[in-house]
Structure 1
Amino acid sequence: MRIAAISDIHGNLAALDAVLADIARRNVDLVVNLGDIFSGALFPRETADRLMPLGFPTIRGNHERQILTLDPGRMGPSDRLAADCLTPDQKGWIAALPETLRISEEVLLVHGTPDSDLAYFLETVDETGLRPATMAEIEARAGNEPARLILCGHTHMPRVARLDDGRLIVNPGSVGLPAYEDDRPFPHKIEAGSPYARYAIAERGDGQWTARLLIVGYDWNEAADIAAARGRQDWARALRTGFA
């Protein structure tokens, strides 16, 4: 069983197309989508047009929830663009997405952690900023979840952790946005350090799951130019460099 996991597309259609083309060459059995699909500075409606007919198992992330539930006056610019651009049918598709999804007894899709679409699974933020989570922290967040493979997104940081009991936690990184800044719960930066689109392939063999983290090139300068033209210099820098 080979599963390609994509996450955090954030309306970056060119990056998504490049990743899907790469996946098509790798003989996977299933593609899954871990949420935060549309919000950003680029092409939310076109990204929905591309993804919806494919029928991938998909969960919603915190940005999908925010698009549907926040008052427009409380939205940030990324959510506001998506809310303004997406059609009623596309919003209806989002509303039907589950928060988590069990693909089988062995595989669980979550956006943040099994309990929250905002919590970081494999990273921790404290007063000093961002750091990799300790194994004890990861085990606490996984709790008693029985899935042997947990696929998560949200932090845009590609990372794999295997717990002592053999469970594998995989964050494929972000298809569409390699860096950002946030101020909750403390100010911190997420930085993949290069502008590539990212995804992961998880494979079951010899009785356990393993994962490969992959990078894919695309024309990130064109995407950055579009973001800059829309007044999103934060996005333009992140797309060009992988740094916030």
Structure 2
Amino acid sequence: MRLAAIADIHGNAAALEAVLADIAAQGIAPDSIVNLGDCLSGPLEAGRTADILVPLDLPTVRGNHDRYLIEHEAGKMHSWEADAFRQLTPAHLDWLRALPVSRVWREEVFLCHATPADDQLYWMERIEPNGVVGLKPRAEIEELADGISQSLILCGHSHLPRAVRLSDGRLLVNPGSVGCPAYDDDTPYYHRVEAGTPMASYAICERQGGDWSVSFRLVPYDHMSQSRLAGRNGRASWEAGLATGWLG
């Protein structure tokens, strides 16, 4: 079994197109791509991203930013959602409403956005009070996987490509972010997540015998066009992150 996992597109249609082309070049068909959510929010091209994604009918789970788009009132949205909402049609929003919070793909792969019970909690990362982003202890990571029988577990949310082998052999994989390589947040403490590269990230997972392997792929694309778009839309942190993979 071989599949491609994408996550955290955040309305970056140019990055999505580059990743889909790279996936096809690896010989992976669209019916073997899974999408881990946070699809549209951001100051880029939410509508065009939705127009690409919806017809593909990929197995997709709902991320926290997808949820914000359908739960928050139009005048009370965060900036990422407000920027995207103006571009979305009722059909786009209906597609978001229909997404599950988790799902099992082909009986062997568990999909969620962040963790099974909380779409805003990093699964593998811990934030220190001083803002340092590090790896959680394995026991904490494994506790969040209780009750999941699948041998491959896929999540997104942190935008950082990472894999952790659990003590029972299950593999937990975050493919990184297709469209947003750097951001900051204040929960639970102020911190920055910076990939250090503007390239679009995704993962290829393959089972050979009883074991899963993972390859992370970083795909170049015209990231400066998206950086300039974010700048024109008044989002300086996005402009910097898309240009370099750093916030400054």
Inter-partner Cα distance in structure 1 for 2:86 and 2:128: 34
1:161 counterpart residue number = 164
Offset of 1:134 from its aligned partner? 1.8
Identity within the alignment, %: 48
2:204 counterpart residue number = 201
1:28 counterpart residue number = 28
Alignment of 1:156-195 (within 5 A): 156-195=159-198
Offset of 1:144 from its aligned partner? 2.7
Q: SS where residue 127 of structure 2 aligns?
A: strand
Q: What code does the residue aligned with 2:94 have? A: G
Q: SS where residue 229 of structure 2 aligns?
A: helix
Inter-partner Cα distance in structure 2 for 1:230 and 1:69: 24
Offset of 1:28 from its aligned partner? 2.2
Q: What code does the residue aligned with 1:170 have? A: V
Alignment of 1:131-146 (within 5 A): 131-146=134-149
Offset of 1:216 from its aligned partner? 0.1
Inter-partner Cα distance in structure 1 for 2:188 and 2:84: 25
Inter-partner Cα distance in structure 2 for 1:226 and 1:155: 23
Inter-partner Cα distance in structure 1 for 2:97 and 2:198: 31
Offset of 1:71 from its aligned partner? 2.1
- Give me the TM-score of the superposition, normalised by structure 2: 0.96
Inter-partner Cα distance in structure 2 for 1:211 and 1:147: 16
- Give me the TM-score of the superposition, normalised by structure 1: 0.97
- State whether residues 10 and 41 of structure 2, in contact with CA within 8 Å, keep that contact through their aligned partners in structure 1: yes
Alignment of 1:1-244 (within 5 A): 1-28=1-28, 30-129=32-131, 130-244=133-247
CA RMSD of aligned residues (A): 1.0
Q: Which moved more, 1:55-64 or 1:74-83?
A: 74-83
Q: Which moved more, 1:204-213 or 1:148-157?
A: 204-213
Inter-partner Cα distance in structure 2 for 1:83 and 1:100: 23
Offset of 1:72 from its aligned partner? 2.7
- State whether residues 44 and 84 of structure 2, in contact with CA within 8 Å, keep that contact through their aligned partners in structure 1: no
Offset of 1:77 from its aligned partner? 1.2
Give ranges in structure 2 of 5+ residues lacking alignment: none
Inter-partner Cα distance in structure 2 for 1:86 and 1:216: 27
Q: What code does the residue aligned with 2:152 have? A: L
Inter-partner Cα distance in structure 2 for 1:137 and 1:27: 36
Equivalent pairs, count: 244
Inter-partner Cα distance in structure 2 for 1:241 and 1:143: 38
The CA deviation string for residues 63-113 of structure 1, in whole angstroms up to 9 with x for no partner, is: 110000012333111101222211001111111111101113321100001
